A and B are shown apart, each in its own frame.
Chain A
Amino acid sequence: MHVPDGFINAPVSATAGLISMGSLWVSTKASNKFLGDKFIAIAGMMSALIFVLQMINFPIGAGTSGHLLGGALAVIILGPSLGIICVSIVVIIQAFIFADGGLSALGINILNMSIVTGLIGWFVIDTWKKIFGDKNFSLILGSFVAGMISVVMSSVAFVVEYALGGTVSVAISSVFIAMVTSHFLIGIGEGVITAFILSLLLKVRSDLVFISINKEAKGKSVPLIGLLLFLSLGLLMIAPFASSSPDGLETIAQDFNFSNQKSIAMFLEDYSIPLISNSFISIILSGILGVSILVVFINLYLNLTRKKS
């Protein structure tokens, strides 16, 4: 999973670097209230543990082996801001001291392995907690799901970076299939490990687990960003399977010759954005736009109904 130098071209690496620097800055600001608390020492231990767990490869069949990413685990135990910092520190140590993962690809590695896994893991476990309650058993199941989904989404994020700026001309679809299937298996392993570590910790030292101490979620922004990321990367997983042939109503309309009656030219016609020639990217962008418009409307609706009641 550690991307070396020269695999992704320079503009995409630089953009990923800027994004990860910005989000690390935000999470540093958010976690400054823990400074001087014992959380700092625990965060250090957590990143050391994740580092050691990342060194262990478990075989997933067919000659490949995967290792833990640990984003979901760190986020569950330390909370979103400190957890993201923790895994980024692991990536930085690996790049600077152990020469694993390129220095110019540091931004990409941080983005894939800590920010995407952290945000999505936190979003999944947070919603899970809201839906199924915060009993120990439901938290453990939720951590399994969070670990699995976060790893798969991290591999999808790598495919996006590859599609935007890969220096190799291997077809995107084959990279996509190889990455996602292998990371699905790695994700199962990651989910099992996350769930077991969490179950033992909840049994022995439940006062250290952020998700079980923190009874009420304070910030809404982190789950929201996680939701957006989750939906956009999830759309990416579905996008290759979307059929370009017309759906039922459209076929009937073509058969009866009333499909050409255009009334208004819409902005996002046929789920594609003008000015962007690459169809893959434009479908995804329009998907993200549509989802964010939906989120805004749902929020507006919820606010209105709340005021009335």
Chain B
Amino acid sequence: MSGNHPPTNLNTESYLIDVAPAQKIVSVLVLSLSLAFNDIRNTFTFTMILFCIVCFVYLSIPSIKFLIRRMYVIIPFILFSLFLPFISKSGSVIYLYKNIAIYEDGVFEMSNILFKSVAGVSMAVALSSTTSQLEIIKGLGRLKFPKIFVSILSFALRYISVYISEFQRIRLSMRSRGFKNKGLSDSISLAYAGSAMLIRGFERGEKVYSSMISRGFDGNLFVTKRKWNQSKLLYFLCIVALITNIIGLFL
């Protein structure tokens, strides 16, 4: 019932592996926000910020294959954006073949969604490939997130693995009894599975919490200390992104 601890597939050879998690979180936020605030029509500023992001991602991920494999969540959005040039009908026509016309605005919208979503996902993948989940929470704590927030977050992360292993067990037994997820009528079975999971988890969690209290838990979850570096390169990338953003406002 314990559940496996989350797998630590960190890229230990990365340059950013020893950099403080708080700094990595801040720089990811800065980079993705400055990308979001930039218009794709300002080609210069947009490519500058994309370059910063590519640097960050290149420094963190082990291989391109790893990045592409983790990107499956945005596949529906990518497919949707590929249809956009044919759907949206505004702006001037840039390509015409018989009845099919491609409009300028549609192409811009497509590339906007494509670039921004791919960059956002790859930055999240990059962050999680150099920083373990507990370290991300630690970094959020360093950034003065409220204590209640951080402690719920850490409990949640610990219990996700418990629940996933529990759910796999339940699903196996459901499947061995001939369960197939066909439609809305099957959500009742899913609901029973979920509530069984919830109750098992509640009882387990109460036990864990009382044992933590009896060992002197006072709300601080992190005992082990580790020395972190500050990366000058990350500072540089963030500052470049911010300056480009300010320039982009006046262009």
> With the chains together, A22 CA to B70 CA distance in Å?
32
Given the known inter-chain contacts A97-B136, A99-B73, A197-B195, please indicate yes or no for A4 contacting B88, CB distance below 8 A. Answer: no
Q: Which of A51, A188, A194, A204 is within 8 Å of B156, CB to CB?
A: A51
The reply to whether B149 and A28 contact each other, CB–CB distance below 8 Å, is yes
Bitwise interface map of B from 45 to 59 toward A, beta carbon under 8 Å scored 1, else 0: 000000000000000
Bitwise interface map of B from 119 to 138 toward A, beta carbon under 8 Å scored 1, else 0: 11101110110000100100
Given the known inter-chain contacts A40-B152, A44-B158, A58-B186, please indicate yes or no for A52 contacting B87, CB distance below 8 A. Answer: no
Bitwise interface map of B from 201 to 215 toward A, beta carbon under 8 Å scored 1, else 0: 110011011000000
Q: Which of B25, B36, B148, B199 is within 8 Å of A201, CB to CB?
A: B199
Q: Is the interface of B mostly helix, strand, loop or mixed?
A: helix
Q: Which of B25, B120, B192 is within 8 Å of A4, CB to CB?
A: B120
The reply to whether A44 and B154 contact each other, CB–CB distance below 8 Å, is yes
Q: How many residues of B contact A (CB 8 A)?
A: 77
The reply to whether A58 and B128 contact each other, CB–CB distance below 8 Å, is no
Q: Closest CB of chain B to A23's CB: distance in Å?
A: 13
**Any chain B CB within 8 A of the CB of A19?**
no
Q: Which of B74, B109, B121, B160 is within 8 Å of A48, CB to CB?
A: B160
Q: Which of A49, A105, A195, A208 has the most CB of B within 10 A?
A: A49
- A95 contacts which chain B residues (CB < 8 A)? 124
Chain A residue at minimal CB-CB distance from B88: A169
- Pick the interface stretch among A30-38, A130-138, A215-223, A234-242: A30-38
Q: Which of A7, A89, A92, A99 has the most CB of B within 10 A?
A: A99
- B195 contacts which chain A residues (CB < 8 A)? 196-197, 199-201
The reply to whether B112 and A44 contact each other, CB–CB distance below 8 Å, is no
Q: Which of A4, A44, A169, A199 is within 8 Å of B74, CB to CB?
A: A4
Given the known inter-chain contacts A47-B152, A97-B133, A193-B194, please indicate yes or no for A4 contacting B205, CB distance below 8 A. Answer: no
- B164 contacts which chain A residues (CB < 8 A)? 52
Q: How many residues of A contact B (CB 8 A)?
A: 70
The reply to whether B148 and A31 contact each other, CB–CB distance below 8 Å, is yes
> With the chains together, A169 CA to B109 CA distance in Å?
8
The reply to whether A97 and B149 contact each other, CB–CB distance below 8 Å, is no
B-facing residues in A98-144 (Cβ within 8 Å): 98-100, 102-105
**Any chain A CB within 8 A of the CB of B101?**
no
> With the chains together, A38 CA to B151 CA distance in Å?
12
Q: Closest CB of chain A to B98's CB: distance in Å?
A: 23
**Any chain B CB within 8 A of the CB of A168?**
yes
Q: Which of A10, A45, A100 is within 8 Å of B205, CB to CB?
A: A45
Q: Which of B32, B148, B188 is within 8 Å of A102, CB to CB?
A: B32
**Any chain A CB within 8 A of the CB of B184?**
yes
The reply to whether B148 and A35 contact each other, CB–CB distance below 8 Å, is yes
> With the chains together, A91 CA to B124 CA distance in Å?
13
- A40 contacts which chain B residues (CB < 8 A)? 148, 151-152, 155, 209
The reply to whether A4 and B121 contact each other, CB–CB distance below 8 Å, is yes
Q: Which of A52, A85, A103 is within 8 Å of B120, CB to CB?
A: A103
Q: Which of B87, B116, B163, B191 is within 8 Å of A6, CB to CB?
A: B116
**Any chain A CB within 8 A of the CB of B65?**
no
The reply to whether B184 and A188 contact each other, CB–CB distance below 8 Å, is yes
- A5 contacts which chain B residues (CB < 8 A)? 32, 35-36, 116-117, 119-121
The reply to whether B148 and A28 contact each other, CB–CB distance below 8 Å, is yes
**Any chain A CB within 8 A of the CB of B142?**
no
> With the chains together, A51 CA to B116 CA distance in Å?
25
> With the chains together, A124 CA to B117 CA distance in Å?
35
Q: Which of A10, A32, A99 is within 8 Å of B70, CB to CB?
A: A99
Chain B residue at minimal CB-CB distance from A24: B149
B residues with CB within 8 A of A: 25, 28-29, 32-33, 35-37, 70-71, 73-74, 77, 84, 87-90, 105-106, 109, 112-113, 115-117, 119-121, 123-125, 127-128, 133, 136, 146-149, 151-160, 162-164, 167, 181-184, 186-188, 190-192, 194-199, 201-202, 205-206, 208-209, 219
Beyond the given pairs A38-B209, A92-B153, A208-B202, 8 more chain A to chain B contacts, judged by CB atoms under 8 angstroms and listed by A's residue number, are A35-B148, A44-B159, A48-B158, A52-B197, A96-B136, A105-B36, A168-B84, A193-B190
Nearest 8 pairs of A and B residues by beta carbon = A44-B155, A6-B116, A196-B191, A104-B36, A5-B120, A48-B159, A99-B124, A200-B195
